[in-house]
Amino acid sequence: MGADQDARMRDPFAGPAAEVRAALLRRITATGALEDPAWRAAFAEVPRHLFVPYYYVSTFAGYERLWSGDSDPDRRERWLRGAYADGPLATRVRDGELVSSSSQPSLMARMLDALEVRDGHSVLEIGAGTGYNAALLAHRLGDSHVTTVDLDPEITESARSHLQAAGYHPTVITGDGARGCPGRAPFDRVIATCALPSVPQSWLPQCRPGGLVLAPLANGLILLRVRDADHAEGHFLHTPAFFVPLRGGGPVRTAIPHVGGLPRRVAGSELFRFLLTLTAGSLDPHEALSLWQREQRPERERFGATVSGGRQWAWLDDPEGPYAWPLDVPGDAGR
């Protein structure tokens, strides 16, 4: 028996966790995600609870900490069931502010599906988090094909420890994710699990031509196809996405501008809020409303983004069409 298998067998929650993990997998597959059997196997076998030995749940008083070592068996059961709930988990809170989390599993599944990975592909993950997403990638592709980067040494050390406990050993690097990881390039895929103000230009030359970059941008997920070191382009996915911002990458487009006098059904529309966030600073909110109405409430997939020659912009329907808005490129980040 290998050392990794032995470590997993010493997990006192292995039996109870298998039941709730199977239930989570059923919930995810019921949404239509994980059609690839290899991804289903990853979600079935990677023990998420080892990556969240404690987490925080929001209360009226702030945050309540649940953890695996609680002396109260009912609270331990709450912790375990919460670890396999289909929702995000707050894993690091500083001065009352969320700084790191474990993403909603069904969202992770949709993002991994969208990557269209194949055997032999190498993947760069920006934002190590708990290490759970890197473990899923390592299960699918093998340890040597996965690199995960985070700016915070406490986060990378914790992720590395969790990965080792679960029997996975991808490369974990402490560094500025906005600059990628040139020492491990080239990559076939880049996936960010933190919100961005724009797509760092430095990621493109680290991708093989034809590679994909998937990143949270403006409360959505942009999927770019890399043509070469200077050009990438693609559309937003259907699903909304809210992530902790990339540290060191500048302010992100997550705040929704306040607009008075809007009909309730418009102000409450998630897709209209996406448009407001995407065009913040470039398009007056009332102009955005006019566009929204004129274009028959466009779905998120009609929007896209282009990165080319040091410039980048978002657009509706056509990169060279009449509706285009520059995206922020903060200082020298990613250069």
| SS3 per residue for 36-80 | CHHHHHHHHHCCHHHHCCEEEEEECCEEEEEECCCCCHHHHHHHH
Sign for the CA dihedral angle at 38, 40, 44, 49 comes to positive
Instruction: State residue 2's pLDDT score.
Output: 41
| Catalytic-labelled residue, pool 100, 106, 122, 202 | 100
Confirm whether 290 is a catalytic residue.
no
Instruction: State residue 92's pLDDT score.
Output: 85
The residues of the chain scoring below 70 in pLDDT are 1-9, 96, 247-264, 267, 329-335
Question: Distance between CA 18 and CA 25 in Å, rounded?
Answer: 10
pTM for this model (two decimals): 0.91
Instruction: State residue 261's pLDDT score.
Output: 63
Instruction: State residue 255's pLDDT score.
Output: 47
* Domains of the chain, each with CATH number or no CATH: 3-175 (3.40.50.150), 264-326 (no CATH)
User: Residue ranges of the alpha helices (H) in the chain?
Assistant: 3-9, 14-30, 37-45, 73-83, 105-115, 132-141, 153-166, 264-267, 270-278, 285-294
Instruction: State residue 223's pLDDT score.
Output: 98
Q: What is the pLDDT of residues 239-249, one digit of tens each?
A: 999 888 876 55
The answer to whether 216 and 195 have CB atoms below 8 angstroms apart is yes
The answer to whether 267 and 276 have CB atoms below 8 angstroms apart is no
